[in-house]
Amino acid sequence: MNVLDMKRLTKKFGDFIAVDGITLSVREGEIFGFLGANGAGKSTTIHMIASLLSISSGEIEILGRNIAKHPRFAKSNIGIVPQDLAIYEEMTALENVRFFAGLYGLGGSELKRRAEEALAFVGLADKAKSYPKHFSGGMKRRLNIACAIAHKPKLIIMDEPTVGIDPQSRNYILNSVRQLNEAGCTILYTSHYMEEVEEICTRIAIIDHGKIIADGTKEQLKAIVTDRKEIDIEVRGAGGLDLAELKRVPGVLSAELEENVLRIASAAEVRNLNRILERLMTDGVDIRAVKAREPSLEQVFLTLTGRSLRDD
């Protein structure tokens, strides 16, 4: 079953098309990675799913129901962790969670119980009566997550939840994502941190200039760049190495020496490892280890868009 369906979804700001006809489905149980550079259209898409922004054209369905026709159903089944923190500094942590869970439609004793559970889930039970103005950035993010999950939504949307926080809070958040997923939540996770998406997501879509340019599992995306192979050769005594000669070996696309590792990219179809190793031995280089390197999502992104994802 699909938890989320976007059909030809488009958002225009005046003449500018920020989201350009996206058609994409997220299935139940997935941790779906929504990957794109700054300004690619991730937040705009998410804001339309969460009904925080109007749609210019196209449709969004949550669990098969159109969100424009079933706004209450959509609201009760979606939890959004926004990029900009949405918490009130003058309310305690618990009051914040209760406030947001109330907005999502919870009430009475259930609201109280679920708010306490959500706060405990993010490791802030002992801070229930504290004011978030005293919290670290990571704690505020965790509180933000508690606010989005107390009503037990089917779909949790996280918009860059690890931007600007310490590594410990980052790990905490990534583990929370896994646990929420194991507990039955479907997650839409946006990020421009490639490693995170690679680590936790089961399927990934890459968005660029408002369009989906690729989607699939990590393996499927990486298959896009299998026309090249990457080889790392650990070496010693590379003083006599002639890189220019090495680059002349048929199939070699690039060769760089970084400390003791020689990084070589080569056309996948050319069998040239013997020639490369012979070349190194001729130059008197001591070969310690040879490893094939898996293509990274960064390379996939680079191949598809011609630029690097990270600009920070």
Ligand X SMILES: Nc1ncnc2c1ncn2[C@@H]1O[C@H](COP(=O)(O)OP(=O)(O)OP(=O)(O)O)[C@@H](O)[C@H]1O
Residues that bind ligand X (CB under 6 A): 13, 16, 18, 36, 38-44, 83, 192
Question: How many helices (DSSP H) and strands (DSSP E) are in the chain?
Answer: 11, 14
Q: Strands of 2-13's sheet, edge to edge?
A: 16-27, 2-13, 57-62, 65-66
> Nearest distance from residue 96's CB to ligand X, in Å?
23
> Nearest distance from residue 219's CB to ligand X, in Å?
25
> Nearest distance from residue 254's CB to ligand X, in Å?
30
> Nearest distance from residue 300's CB to ligand X, in Å?
17
> Nearest distance from residue 49's CB to ligand X, in Å?
12
**Choice between 170 and 279, CB closer to ligand X:** 170
Indicate the burial class of 98 (C-beta count within 10 angstroms; 0-12, 13-18, 19 or more): buried
The SS3 call for residue 261 is: strand
* Structure letter (DSSP) for residue 27: E
Integer Cα distance of 31 and 181 in angstroms: 7
> Nearest distance from residue 40's CB to ligand X, in Å?
4
HEC states along 196-253?
HHHHHCCEEEEEECCEEEEEECHHHHHHCCCCEEEEEEEEECHHHCCHHHHHCCCCEE
**Choice between 3 and 309, CB closer to ligand X:** 309
Amino acid at 171: N
> Nearest distance from residue 77's CB to ligand X, in Å?
22
β-pairing, 78-81 with 155-159?
Answer: parallel
- 233 touches 289 (CB < 8 A): yes
